[in-house]
Amino acid sequence: MSFLTEPLTFKVSLTTKLIRQAEEFRCQQKASHKARQVYLNTLAVQAVQFYCECIGVETELAASDSWNTAMRTLMDVADLAVQEKGKLECRPVLQGEEICHLPPETLEDRIGYIVVEIDEENYEAKLLGFSKTASEGRLSIQQIPSLEGLIDVIVDDIAETEQTPWSVELVETNFVRLGQWFRDEFDEFWQAPELLLAASYRGAATTQEPESQLCKKRIKLLDIGNHKVALLVQITQATETELDILLKIYSADGNILPQGLLMQLLDDSESVIMETQAGSADNFRGLNFQIDTEELFSVRFIIENLKVTEKFIS
């Protein structure tokens, strides 16, 4: 039985970090057409790598031809090495293209092909599908099989009868897209502070800065073991390319926070950038920072041996 009602695809935000890497490789090329080719290939490879991270698959960029300066210059390659499996070819296409053409050098030594649609205007890459083979060096965009086939190939520990009903919604719900808040698009778990926060804290949460088109705030209840807390996130458009973000954690019932509760801010490589810890009589703890738009970050809460992480795209 299949749980999928439509072909599985996956969207990846082209963050500043991903674009900088692609720009770095592009600048190494002298010919403009080659520079463009390398730029799109690099974005496609990074998008597929991010997807692999989301489904728990280990990759090896350093072992990929696309990450080798000489191979990148001499050939048209967009491969990503997958540990103990082989190489995936991550072929970029632009919106409106109907055929994905595969260079001759990519038709051997590949465990399959992923077609990645690059939307430069909206800074997104969309993984359209996966094929184990490429007949005559081309793939039809309309006929390419679903990404579900990739999961079967590279994920060993999912039995056929127990496969997770992978879907775009399931994978992407791990990330809160803050940019959508400025369009008043909120996940059902993120509510106005006055709806979820205990009465004793509502004033403090709502007077930080009034909501406007450039300032949005929402709150979410989190269960950390036996502790129920409320995470307030306030975002303000600081400049065209930067957001000011305020994070505050409260006890959901209006009491003090559990002593020792640690709140950490993590970057996209999961390194700790900032942290704060609740004392014996703290009503709330907070972190305030600025970040480029389209950047990934996480907020992790730790108490005793328990960890809860919320992931965001700014």
Q: For residue 295, tell me if it sits in a domain.
A: yes
Those residues with Cβ within 8 angstroms of residue 305's Cβ, 6 or more apart along the chain or in another chain:
none
Residues 193 and 126 placed together within one structural domain of the fold = no
Mean pLDDT: which of 29-33, 56-60, 200-204, 268-272 is highest? 29-33
Q: What is the pLDDT of residue 119?
A: 92
149 and 200 part of one domain? no
Residue 300 within a domain: yes
SS3 category, 168: helix
Q: What is the spatial distance between Cα 287 and Cα 295, in angstroms, rounded to a whole number?
A: 17
User: What percentage of the chain carries pLDDT values higher than 90?
Assistant: 41
The answer on 70 and 135 residing in a single domain is: yes
Instruction: Output the pLDDT for position 218.
Output: 92
Does 228 fall in a domain?
Answer: yes
| For residues 93-101, average pLDDT | 93
Mean predicted confidence (pLDDT) in 287-314 = 88
Q: What angle separates helix 16-26 from helix 32-54, to the nearest 10 degrees?
A: 140
What is the domain range of residue 231? 175-313
pLDDT band at 172 (very low <50, low <70, confident <90, very high): very low
Q: What is the mean pLDDT of the chain?
A: 83
> Between 17 and 25, where is the model more confident?
25
Of 64-78, 112-126, 199-213, 241-255, the poorest mean pLDDT is in: 199-213
Is the per-residue pLDDT at 156 higher than 50? Answer: yes
| 280 falls within a domain | yes
Q: Which residue has the higher pLDDT, 168 or 20?
A: 20
Lowest mean pLDDT across 23-32, 68-77, 165-174, 178-187: 165-174
Domain end, chosen from 112, 143, 172, is at 172
Asked if 91 and 113 touch (Cβ cutoff 8 Å), the reply is yes
DSSP3 helix / strand / coil % (the chain, rounded to 5): 25, 35, 35
Q: Is residue 1 part of a domain?
A: no
Say if residues 12 and 288 touch (Cβ distance below 8 Å).
no
Average pLDDT over residues 14-40: 94
Q: Which long-range contacts (CB under 8 A, 24 or more apart) does 73-79 make?
A: 73/28, 73/29, 73/34, 75/103, 75/105, 76/37, 76/41, 76/103, 76/105, 76/106, 77/41, 77/103, 77/105, 77/106, 78/41, 78/42, 78/44, 78/45, 78/106, 79/45, 79/106, 79/110
